[in-house]
Structure formats: C-alpha cells, structure tokens
C-alpha cells in the first residue's frame, strides 16, 4: 500500500508534539492522570478505539528513552508472524488487565496501542515501571478516527507512490491518495494483540471521508483499514474529486466523526 511505517508517522508526530510535563527526579514511581492520556496522533483526549495509538504524558514513566526498532518485535502467541512487544525498557502498560503493545517510552511519555481484543466501555489504564502507577479510567468505543497533523495544518497523506503531500507537492483531482489515521477500530481479520499486519486488513466500521463538508461518493474510497507492516496505523485510500485548494478533510468511522481543522494538500 505504501512505504510509510508507524515509526515514520510517530516520528513526524513527535517532531510536532509539545511535551506537556517537566522533568522530575526518578524514584516516586510513574505519575500521570486522565488529562495526560491522549490520542497519539493529535494529543486530543478520548474516547479511544481498540487498536488506537495512545500517548501517556506524565513523570517517572521510564528510566530511559527507547523507540521501537525491528529487534524489539516478538513472535505472536495467537497468530503467525511478528507482534509488537508488551514490555519496553522494563515498562508495561495494562488496559483492563491486558498488556498493551508498546511503541515508545521515555521518562515523560509512553506511546502504546489499545489492545485490539477489548470491547467498548470503561477501561482502566495502569503503568508498571518498577512499581505500579495509578489506575486511570478511560472510555473505549468501536471507532475513534483521528488524523495525523503536520506542519502548515495539513494531514499526513501521500500520493499513490508514497510521496508525502505538501503545499509544494500537492495532489490534484483524479489522483489516488493515501490518508493516514489512527482509531478505525476493529479489522477483519482481527488477529490479536499487537500483530503486525502482513496484508490488507479492512476496517469493520464503515469509513466515510468529507472534503470541505461534502461527503465523498463511497466508490471513491478504495480501501480503509490497517497499513500492511504497521500495527496501529490505518490508512484510507481514495480517489480525489475536484474539491478546490487545500480542502478541510474529515474521516469518520461508524457513528464516530473525526476531528476537523486539518487540510489535505491539494490544488
């Protein structure tokens, strides 16, 4: 589908993210609150969907910084192939008692995935980093789509060849583009915790896209589901209509509408 990986998208997001918490001395154990548990794509609060990339901001979350590398991947227990680790630098995140697939840790931030086997409703998140942190309750829903922002107020998207769309390299009517999101929820198949998708796994929820408030004809949406090779990252492949310059783009899934305010680089 594309050469972009979850690592590339998370790195792009990290370059724009604002660190919300100041450094403190290690020793008191992990400290965080509901206000610091946000969507990893845009720092918005919940609810969250199974399979979503989520960030915890706090203090004392890990001893050292570590971002996911290929050698961290492990053999899956319940399915063939590779899975994300559930422990990183001796840090774990539990969601309703299930260990969460891990993407990144440092003393003030953790990026992880909501386990894909969980069902909508209240969910308790707890960090283990030497000792347990507080139990914090969040809300899970079937889908909670969120775009990844980049400089200039644009959503992260590429052309069909994988080239990033920017103000200097925009898409045009008739082009096929790939828009990256998190939070499209359950997929078919849904193989288990942190499994790295080796093929297209479509989202179960019906996915819709609007440009400048006008819904796209569903036939223009060619694929909506996980990005092969990247657990936690979803993509929507669509053929663009004539929507003017830099239209606002909103991705919805099921009954959940995504956030507005981001543009698609287009002329």
Give the pairing type, strands 249-253 and 207-211: antiparallel
Element (H, E) at 8: helix 6-16
What does pTM read for this prediction?
0.86
CATH number of 6-140: 2.60.40.10
pLDDT tens, residue by residue, 91-111: 999 999 999 999 999 999 999
pLDDT of residue 25: 39
Where are the domains positioned within the chain? Answer: 6-140, 146-257
Sequence-distant (6+) residues with CB within 8 A of 14 are 104
- Of 197, 221, 200, the C-alpha closest to 116 is 197
Residue 149 scores a pLDDT above 60: yes
- Of 58, 53, 2, 69, the C-alpha closest to 34 is 58
pLDDT tens, residue by residue, 171-221: 999 999 999 999 999 999 887 788 998 889 999 999 999 999 999 999 999
How would you class 122 by CB atoms within 10 Å of its CB: exposed for 0-12, middle for 13-18, buried for 19 or more?
exposed
Confidence of residue 16 (pLDDT cuts 50, 70, 90): very low
Percent of the chain with pLDDT over 90: 77
What does the pLDDT average to over 238-256?
96
Give the chain's end-to-end CA distance (angstroms, integer).
23
């Amino acid at each position: 589908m594309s050469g972009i990986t979850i690592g590339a998208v998370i790195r792009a997001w990290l370059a724009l993210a604002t660190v919300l918490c100041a450094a403190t001395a290690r020793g008191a154990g992990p400290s965080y609150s509901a206000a610091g548990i946000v969507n990893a794509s845009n720092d918005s609060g919940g609810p969250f969907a199974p399979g979503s990339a989520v960030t915890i901001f706090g203090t004392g979350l890990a001893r050292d910084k570590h971002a996911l590398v290929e050698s961290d991947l492990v053999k899956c227990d319940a399915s063939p192939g590779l899975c994300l680790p559930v422990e990183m630098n001796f840090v774990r995140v539990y969601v309703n008692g299930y260990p969460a697939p891990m993407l990144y840790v440092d003393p003030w931030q953790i990026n992880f995935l909501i386990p894909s086997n969980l069902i909508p409703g209240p969910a308790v998140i707890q960090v283990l980093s030497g000792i347990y942190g507080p139990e914090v309750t969040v809300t899970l829903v079937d889908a909670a789509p969120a775009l990844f922002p980049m400089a200039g107020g644009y959503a992260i998207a590429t052309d069909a060849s994988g080239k990033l769309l920017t103000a200097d390299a925009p898409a045009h009517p008739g082009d096929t583009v790939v828009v990256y999101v998190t939070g499209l929820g359950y997929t078919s198949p849904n193989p288990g915790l942190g499994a790295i998708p080796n093929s297209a796994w479509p989202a179960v929820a019906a996915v819709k896209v609007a440009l400048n408030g006008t819904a796209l004809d569903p036939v223009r949406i060619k694929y909506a589901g996980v990005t092969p090779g990247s657990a936690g990252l979803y993509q929507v492949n669509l053929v663009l209509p004539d929507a003017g310059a830099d239209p606002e783009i909103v991705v919805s899934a099921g009954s959940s509408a995504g956030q507005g305010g981001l543009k698609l680089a287009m002329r």
